[in-house]
Amino acid sequence: MQKQHDILKLAKELIRIPTIPNSKVHLKQALDLVKSSLAEYTIEDFFANGQISSLIHNQAKGFRNFKFVLNIHLDIIPAKDNQYSPKIIGDKLYGAGAMDMKANAACCVLVFKEYAKNLDYPLALQVTTDEEIGGFDGTAYQLKNGLTAEFVISSEPTNLDIVNQAKGIMWLEVEFKGKSAHGAYPWKGNNALFQASDFITKLSGKIKNPVKKDWITTINFSKLNTVNKAFNKVPDQACLGMDIRFVPGDHDRILKVIKKLLPKGAKLNILTNEPAMDVDPENMHIKSLQRITKSITNKKCKLYAAQGSSDVRHFVKLGMPGVEFGPVGGGIGSDEEWVSISSLDDYYEIIKTFLLDATK
C-alpha cells in the first residue's frame, strides 16, 4: 500500500500544476518536481525554441546510447479550473491529465527512482513538456543531440495493451488562385472559393472517411480562409487547411491523389509530414512486455493500432523501435478524465519487472 500511496501522492501533485502547452512557469514547475525526486541520478536539461526537457539516467553526464528509454510528457490538454483539484472516487483518480499522463508518469518516475541504480545496463527517463504540440523541441531535439535507444516505452494510456502501430500525420495547405470581379458580375471572375469547394468534393470522393472507428486513412478539412473581406467582390484567393492521418504504406498514394486533383494555378504546401509508426510485433521486447503483463494481470496483452500519434514516432522514424504502453483510464481530454488506481499498481509492477528481467 505504501507504493500506491507514493504513486498517488506524486500523481496528485502533478495534476495540481496546470501544465498546458506553452505555460512556461507551470511546465518548469512540474519538471522541477520530477527532477527533485531523482536528484541522485544524472540530470541533463535541454532547451529548444523556448521548450524545456530533461534526460535523467544512470550513466555519466554526456552518455547517450541507452538500452531502454522510458518516455513521459508533462504537458496536457487544457482543462477546466476544477480539474486541477484531483479527486478519488472508488478505484478512479480524476483530474486534468490524470490518464494522459500525470499518473502514468508518476509510476515511471518512481520505478526509475527505486531500480535504475541497480541495473547493469544504461536506462534513461526522458521527460518532455511539448508532446501535445508535436514533440519537436523535446523528444525530437534530444534525438538530434545524439540520444539513441534499443527500445522505447512511451507511457501513453493504452489500457495495459500495447500500441505498436500508429497513423502518420500530414498537415497540408492548398492555395487557390482565381480572378477578382465585382460581386454583381461573377461571370467576369474566377471564384477561388468555388475552386476550393470543388476540390473538397472531389477529394472526399477519393478519400472516404469512415462512419465509425476503422484502420484506414482519414482526412479532416480543418480551415478555409480568404483574404477577401468584401461581400460584393469575387475572391481571387483561398487557402484550405487539411489534417490527414494515414495508415502505414499509404503516404505516397495519398499525395499522388491530392496532386492529381489540384486545379491549374493551385499550390500545395506540406506543413507537417510525420511518418506512420509500424513496429514489428515479433520484437523481443514487445514479446517480453506482453508476457510480463499477462503474468501480472492474468489478462492477454493485445497489440493494436492507434488513430493518433505520440513521441514514439520520433524514435521509430530513426530506426529505433518503441511502443505506447500505459495504464487503464477513460475520458481523455474531457471534463471527467480518470485513471484506474488498481491499474497503476499493475503498471508499476509491469515496468519494474520488465526492467529487472533485462538484467538476467
Instruction: State the DSSP string of 26-94.
Output: HHHHHHHHHHHHTTTSEEEEEEETTEEEEEEESS-TT--EEEEEEEEE-------GGGGS-EEETTEEE
**What is the predicted pLDDT for the residue at 128?**
98
Q: With 90 as the cut, is the pLDDT of residue 18 above it?
A: yes
Per-residue pLDDT at 360 = 63
List residues bridging with 242 in a β-sheet: 172, 221
Cell of 360: 538476467
Q: What residue spans define the domains of the chain?
A: 2-166+277-357, 168-274
Rounded Cα–Cα distance for residues 360 and 358 (Å): 6
- Give the largest CA-CA distance in the chain: 80
In whole numbers, what is the pLDDT of the chain averaged over residues?
A: 97
The stretch 302-325 carries a mean pLDDT of: 95
- The number of C-alpha atoms within 13 Å of 108 and in the hemisphere containing its C-beta is 30
What pLDDT does 1 receive?
75
* 15-27 mean pLDDT: 96
How do residues 218-265 score in pLDDT, each as one tens digit?
Answer: 999 999 999 999 999 999 999 999 999 999 999 999 999 999 999 999
Comparing CA positions, the residue from 298, 285, 265, 282 lying closest to residue 325 is: 285
Structural contact between residues 132 and 21, judged by C-beta atoms closer than 8 angstroms: yes
From the list 121, 149, 129, the residue with the least C-alpha distance to 316 is 149
Q: What is the pLDDT of residue 125?
A: 98
Q: Express each pLDDT in 79-116 by its tens digit.
A: 999 999 999 999 999 999 999 999 999 999 999 999 99
Span 278-301, pLDDT tens digits:
999 999 999 999 999 999 999 999
CATH code matching the domain that covers 168-274, chosen among 3.30.70.360, 3.40.50.1980, 3.60.15.30, 3.40.190.10? 3.30.70.360
Q: Which cell goes with 203?
A: 477529394
> What is the reported pLDDT for 342?
97
User: Binning pLDDT at 50, 70 and 90, where does residue 54 land?
Assistant: very high
Provide the pLDDT for residue 195.
98
Tell me the CATH architecture of domain 2-166+277-357: 3-Layer(aba) Sandwich (3.40)
Average pLDDT for 329-340: 96
Contact 220, 242 (CB under 8 A): yes
**What is the tens place of the pLDDT at every residue in 183-197?**
999 999 999 999 999
Residue 53, pLDDT above cutoff 90: yes
> pLDDT > 90: what percent of the chain?
98
Q: Check residue 359 and give its pLDDT.
A: 84
The residue among 200, 343, 335 whose CA lies nearest residue 262 is: 200
Contacts of 287 (CB under 8 A, 6+ apart): none
How far from chain centre, in Å, is Cα 252? 23
CB 196 within 8 A of CB 187: no
Amino acid at 156: E
What pLDDT sits at residue 350? 98
DSSP string, 133-195: GTSTTTHHHHHHTT-EEEEEEE----TT-EEEEE-EEEEEEEEEE-B-EETT-GGGSB-HHHH
DSSP H or E run through 240: strand 237-246
- pLDDT of 123: 98
State the pLDDT confidence band at 308, using cuts at 50, 70 and 90: confident
**What are the backbone dihedrals phi and psi of residue 317, each rounded to the nearest 5 degrees, phi first?**
-70, -15
Instruction: Write down the pTM of the prediction.
Output: 0.90
